[in-house]
Amino acid sequence: MEYEEVLKSVKLIREGMPASVEEFKSMGLARDGVYKRLEFAIGMVLDGLSELAREHDIIALSYKEMVEGLSEKGAIPESVADKAIFLAQLREVLIYDYDSVNDEMAFRDMEEYLEFIETVLTFLEGSR
């Protein structure tokens, strides 16, 4: 897995975030780019967890089931699993229900989203 690309996306998001929600909402296409980078970074982290799941013979129909399987087998700490499940759900919204994304909430919580990505990524790096 290309962890550098995940870190690059996290860095670009942090650098691209404006100081206020009003500025964020007015970014237009650039705001969409922030969401796309977020989706990409989450997807890469979930792909890393998928590799780990294959190593543990976990077959799942969703990322949530996959992460729960990893947690049940003790392959991933519960604290990391909780963050990964949240990220999987956020990715689903970004992909399939983009029109419902609340810019105010995303602006307020973006740093937390990025920290969740970094937490899961740190775990993955340590598991290799």
- CA distances to 31, 33, 98 from 66, rounded to whole Å, are 30, 28, 24
User: Residue 128's pLDDT is what?
Assistant: 67
Q: What pLDDT score does 3 carry?
A: 85
CA distance from start to end of the chain: 10
Work out the average pLDDT over 62-83: 96
- Give the pLDDT confidence score for residue 1 in this predicted structure: 55
* Separation CA 55–CA 72 (nearest Å): 14
Q: Give the HSE-up count for residue 74: Cα atoms under 13 Å, Cβ half-sphere.
A: 0
Supply the CATH number for residue 45's domain.
Answer: 1.20.120.330
Question: What is the CB neighbour count within 10 angstroms for residue 91?
Answer: 19
How would residue 30 be classed by pLDDT, with cut points 50, 70 and 90? very high
Look up the domain containing 34 and give its range.
3-127
Q: For the chain, what is the domain count? A: 1
